[in-house]
Amino acid sequence: MKAGFLVGIYKMQVKETPKPTIADGEALIAISACGICGSDIHDAARAQEPRIPGHEFSGTIAEIRGDALGFKVGEQVVLDPIMRCGQCSFCKQGKDHLCEKMAVIGCQTPGGFAEFAVVPNKNMRRIPAGLSPELATLADPLAVTLHAADIAGDIKGKNCLVYGAGTLGLFMIQVLKMRGAAKVAVVDIAQERLEVAKKLDPSFITVNPSTDPQYKAVEGINFELLIELAGGSAPTLPDAVNRGGKDCLILLIAQRAPTEINCWNFMFGEKRLQGVFGQTAKNYKQAVEMLGKGEINGKALLTHVFTLDKVQEAYDMARSPKSVKVVVKPK
């Protein structure tokens, strides 16, 4: 089969490789589509052994062995990428995203930038009727934002500020709105992405620090919930600490290097900083259902689709501010 291998820093290469075989409790998936996640880009910035990445993928069951859990060959499925043991203390508490033996399909195992991939049967979820394989791949990022909203607790009536208008950010602002947030603002230096936010809902307040360095668009708003999704070397986390009101909650989701914050402001304002990682199996199931029912707009986020033989171009586009979500299909 053909597969896209990460072979160097931001370098993908399509190679022929043996078609994988399955063991009991596993299924062979004929890939339909695989999304490029921000973590894929982050991971591609580091030199490592060649491997097949991609953890946001959907496809058709080509083979299945062992307990099929009701699945059949020919069914279209999307894959919850987090493999959980189900036995550790975190799994038993319902915090299975923190599983002590956690592994991620497409990270610790070969992923979805290929014609076929092997997955545990228990990680498959049926794609609802009418939901395209491309849109189904968005279940993973949507599930992350649902998990973040769960951590935030009661959002109703709160003013919220989201840093970063990529896939996660654009899902996040929709979820905040659905859960009753009063005012929702989103910050990004890519005007193209802010325009997508406005198309999702004209009530969203957009801030472009490149043209509005003083954040005049949100002047006077007391933000009680701030969500950092820009990551990297962006000055957004220190800004969140300084801009948030007293007793605010700051959720850190994006990966970033060690960052200095204003500890005096943080302490005297009794502000709270909470890390957010991945999603629970419950969040993922909910995300698939929401996309299937059209309760959340994923189509507006799907900006580019490439074939597998152009996976390098796909990665390059995913790093561009002109894109939101980039998806790769085998053909």
Phi, psi of 273 (to 5 degrees): -115, 125
Residue 71: per-residue pLDDT: 98
Same domain, 33 and 74: yes
Kindly report the CATH number assigned to the domain that includes residue 8. Answer: 3.90.180.10
Would you say the C-alpha torsion 324, 43, 188, 267 has a positive or negative sign? positive
Same domain, 147 and 42: no
Residues in the chain: 331
C-alpha separations of 117 from 74, 94, 124 in Å: 15, 28, 12
CB 138 within 8 A of CB 167: yes
Residue 159: per-residue pLDDT: 98
Residue 31: per-residue pLDDT: 98
Same domain, 166 and 215: yes
Which among 251, 238, 95, 242 is positioned nearest to 172, based on CA atoms?
251
CB 82 within 8 A of CB 97: yes
Residue 251: per-residue pLDDT: 98
Same domain, 255 and 222: yes
Residue 129 lies in a domain: yes
CA distance 196 to 202: 10
Low-confidence ranges of the chain (pLDDT < 70): none
Same domain, 176 and 262: yes
Tell me which DSSP letter residue 278 carries.
S
Residue 32: per-residue pLDDT: 98
Residue 281 lies in a domain: no
Residue 16: per-residue pLDDT: 97
How big is the chain by its Cα radius of gyration, in Å? 20
Same domain, 12 and 131: yes
Tell me which DSSP letter residue 217 carries.
G
Same domain, 70 and 107: yes
Residue 84: per-residue pLDDT: 95
Question: In terms of residue numbers, what domain contains 196?
Answer: 142-275
Kindly report the CATH number assigned to the domain that includes residue 169. Answer: 3.40.50.720
Same domain, 148 and 207: yes
Residue 284 lies in a domain: no
Residue 39: per-residue pLDDT: 87
Picking from 260, 275, 290, the residue at the C-terminal end of a domain is 275
The SS3 call for residue 34 is strand
Q: What is the pTM of this model?
A: 0.95
CB 101 within 8 A of CB 54: no
Phi, psi of 201 (to 5 degrees): -165, 115
Looking at the structure of the chain, the number of domains it has is 2
